[in-house]
Amino acid sequence: MKIVLCGTPEGVGRRAADLVQERMARGPMTLGLATGSSPRSTYEELERRHREEGLSFVGVTAFTLDEYVGLPRDHEQSYHSTIRRELTDRVGLPLHQLHTPRGDAADPHEEAARYDREIREAGGVDLQLLGIGANGHIGFNEPTSSLSSRTRVKVLTPATRRDNSRFFRDEEVPRTCITQGLGTIGEAKTAVLVAQGRSKAAAVRAMVEGPVSAMCPASALQFHRRALILLDDDAAAELSMLDYFREEQRLATR
Ligand code: F6R
């Protein structure tokens, strides 16, 4: 794991956008996208570069991490609609190059297996953006998820449903989802996790400094060969090795 201290949420967004842009410059790529509030500063920065600097998404194929079971694609809170609204429509990524699991599939289990195959048949994900839940989940791999799991149907914890109720007005937050598994996510060539805010500090500490444990699914990234953890000051606040990470960053950037 490489810890990248970025100071502010905007700093996190700029650094993550740099990594995406650097990979895009090397040729056609498969980009893994997260939803929720964590990647917003990254998406805003990518949109700004598209608009002001002509950053082109031609050659990018995108796969999202997860989707709520039961929501049709055009539901305002489906992750398909969310990612279109927050990134892909804004940067001109053609709809046929955006892949999301179908939350309204007749058989969600079959759909999950199909989606896993689809990622593999596309050659796997080159760069996967991730957020982290306050309970340590990545994608919707809730605590106790198998560390080698594939894309499948998961039940959301009450804590995740409570956290995400801010996005749903009068409606109930769905109880189940289709999510890429920890094994699937682990196959991405590069994983870039972004975390901002004090509410993520304990989960960040467990992911980086805790044991690898299904109770903190993000800790599976300790096994990843190229996992970059981009943090603002608040998300980094509980790291006991903060001084070491600062030193590492200072010496490596010289
Ligand atoms: C959503 C996803 C989740 C979120 C996590 C953090 O696609 O993958 O793991 O990244 O729940 O959510 P926010 O960023 O809204 O705090």
Query: Does residue 38 have its Cβ closer than 6 Å to ligand 1?
Result: yes
Flag whether pLDDT at 254 surpasses 80. no
Per-residue CA distances from 245 to 12, 66, 133, 208 (Å): 16, 31, 22, 11
Q: What is the pLDDT of residues 34-43, one digit of tens each?
A: 999 999 999 9
**Mean of the pLDDT values across residues 9-14?**
98
Q: Read off the pTM.
A: 0.97
The residue nearest atom 2 of ligand 1, judged by CA position, is 139
**Mean of the pLDDT values across residues 157-178?**
93
Active site residue 248: no
Distance 94 CA to ligand 1 centre (A): 24
Long-range contacts: 108-113, Cβ < 8 Å, 24+? 108/69, 108/153, 108/176, 108/178, 109/152, 109/153, 111/178, 112/150, 112/151, 112/152, 112/153, 112/178, 113/150, 113/151, 113/152
Strand partners, 216: 213
**Mean of the pLDDT values across residues 117-131?**
98
What is the per-residue pLDDT for 56? 96
For residue 77, what pLDDT band results from cuts at 50, 70 and 90? very high
Q: What average pLDDT does the structure give for the chain?
A: 97
Our mutation pick for probing the ligand 1 site, out of 71, 140, 160, 192, counting the most ligand atoms within 8 A of Cβ, is: 140
Q: What is the pLDDT of residues 82-102, one digit of tens each?
A: 999 999 999 999 999 999 999
What is the per-residue pLDDT for 252? 83
For residue 253, what pLDDT band results from cuts at 50, 70 and 90? low
The residue nearest atom 5 of ligand 1, judged by CA position, is 133
Strand partners, 229: 3, 193
CB–CB of 5/236 below 8 Å?
A: yes
Name which of 178, 159, 148, 1 is nearest 73 in CA terms: 178
For residue 170, what pLDDT band results from cuts at 50, 70 and 90? confident
Burial class (CB in 10 A: 0-12, 13-18, 19+), 222: middle
Which is catalytic among the residues 86, 116, 126, 137? 137
Active site residue 137: yes
Instruction: Lowest mean pLDDT of 106-110, 171-175, 218-222, name the range.
Output: 171-175
Active site residue 164: no
Distance 254 CA to ligand 1 centre (A): 33
Q: What structural domains and CATH numbers belong to the chain?
A: 2-133+142-252 (3.40.50.1360)
Distance from the first to the final alpha carbon of the chain: 20
Query: Does residue 139 have its Cβ closer than 6 Å to ligand 1?
Result: yes
Atom of ligand 1 nearest to the CA of 137: 9
Q: Are strands 152-155 and 127-130 parallel, antiparallel or unpaired?
A: unpaired
Query: Does residue 194 have its Cβ closer than 6 Å to ligand 1?
Result: no
CA geometry: angle 200, 79, 190, nearest 5 deg: 60
Which is catalytic among the residues 142, 163, 224, 232? 142
Flag whether pLDDT at 63 surpasses 70. yes
**Mean of the pLDDT values across residues 120-128?**
98
Distance CA 192, CA 128 (A): 6
Active site residue 66: yes
Per-residue CA distances from 135 to 69, 111, 141 (Å): 21, 26, 10
What is the per-residue pLDDT for 230? 98
